[in-house]
Chains A and B, each alone.
Chain A
Amino acid sequence: MEEKKIILTEEEKQTRFEQYNNRTHVIGRIVCIITLILLTGAPFVMGLYLGAMPDFKAVGRGFLSIGIVYFVSCIAEFLVYTPMLGAGGTYLAFITGNLINMKIPCAMNARDIVGAKSGTAENEIISTLSIATSSLVTILVLAAGVALLIPLQPILQDPVLQPAFDQVVPALFGAMAYKYYRKNMGTAIWPLLIMSLLFMLVPSLTGSTSFMIIPSGAIAILIAWLKYKKGK
């Protein structure tokens, strides 16, 4: 890594990185709080313009019926994704959203290309760079798309292209599956088999795949752990 001009001792690197990391937490927290205020405040500002305010009873009812589900899924997402993305990446990813269908695979792909190990300084930097880039691309594509909505709409909603856009996520996971399975087939086969069987027996579970990641991941980690123990 340090074959280039800059030669640093491990301690120097460690100090510099720790400084960076500590500031990341401070900045990340501040930015998250500001974004939270902006996001929850926006409906009220819109309300001032539209001449109406949110119906809090309806908000309460709605939160109890669907919000709880997302609350629980956010806990799971937080626990699973934080170690994958590192500090800076996590703050940014939760601010910009689209984790499962974009930010996570994007960061994992970048990490693979560079060969960074999880929990290292390099991984922290790569993951932040990757998520920031990805967020900017989405923001630019959406801004351009919204600006050009009238000419673009018929193309994007063309019945020939529609099936293609419905399949972005399977296309993503198919490619990722090959990349990860080929080196870890022994680990991958178990969650794949068990989860397939489960989805076959209880097809309604396909509607909550994002929750099923938890048992599936747990099986994969268990198998990997058994192998790790055996190898030691």
Chain B
Amino acid sequence: MLSTLNSPTMYLICGAIVLFVAGVSVFFMVRAWRAGIAIGMDKTKMKRTITASATFSVLPSLGILLGVIALSGALGTPLPWLRLSVIGALHYETQVAEAAAEAAGLSGLSASEMTPQAFVTIAFLMAVCIMWGMVFSVFFNKKYLKKLGSGGVKAASAGGFGDTAMTAMFIGLVSAYIASYIGGFVSGQGLFSFKGSAMPLLVAAVSAAVMALFIWIEEKKKAEWIEGFALAASMLAGMAAAAIAAAL
């Protein structure tokens, strides 16, 4: 079964969709670049956006590649490759695949039990579960943004609360994750036992410390170029700390 799931035809089906999405990304990029120039934006700013985004994305992408490898044992490589290149997300793709396998009547996600019908059922269910962001965007994106009053060149120059709210929302998002690491350590293995995994907290602390160092250098030496690489490099340091801590 696994060799059928890894056959050239399966690669072709999935590859065609990945290629389409790559084309869409290039198209959006070129359009945004041209529009930026048309409204008189600074080219260097746009270039910095692209380099910073590209360097940042490499590490998470490697993490996502691991997700493909993890799922490929049961589902073959093409489907996980498609799922994680398009729409899917690392943290829930595995959960959905597992639950979908159970719904399809398997005892769990495994290659030995996989049948063609179970496979296509899992593939369809994975698509149906995670497509809603796109569906909502088709129907409500324009209305919603209009309601928020964005989309004008001068939208924020009035000094509204919008920008502060967005920063606050992001702080809330980051805090929820950091708090979950604290909670996991304190109560992960029994309420207030302090026996849960300290690894995520340690990693977050190391990468925060390295980020602090970068920001300090950037401000002291006026080395603005550092900012583009700071996030990727801080993450690398945090991940290296994880590998070292685990080895010890």
Contact = CB atoms under 8 A, between A and B. Distances in A.
Contact of B135 (A36, A113, A187): A36
Given A82-B144, A118-B156, A174-B204, A132 B238 contact: no
A148 to B, nearest CB: 10
Interface string B168-199: 11111111111111111011100110001001
A202 B23 CA distance: 45
B96 interface: yes
Interface string A195-231: 1101111010110011011001111110111001000
A151 to B, nearest CB: 13
Contacts, number: 617
Chain A contact residues: helix, strand, loop or mixed: helix
A142 B22 CA distance: 12
B99 A200 contact: no
Contacts of A173: 174, 177-178, 204
Given A35-B86, A42-B17, A142-B85, A114 B142 contact: no
Given A119-B162, A161-B243, 18 more contacts: A17-B35, A20-B39, A33-B138, A34-B20, A42-B82, A59-B128, A113-B52, A119-B150, A120-B153, A134-B56, A137-B58, A138-B57, A175-B207, A178-B209, A192-B179, A206-B183, A216-B176, A225-B161
24 contacts: A29-B137, A31-B24, A42-B123, A66-B95, A84-B169, A87-B145, A118-B150, A119-B162, A129-B46, A136-B26, A149-B69, A164-B243, A168-B60, A170-B207, A172-B207, A176-B231, A178-B215, A192-B179, A198-B183, A200-B183, A205-B180, A206-B188, A221-B172, A225-B165
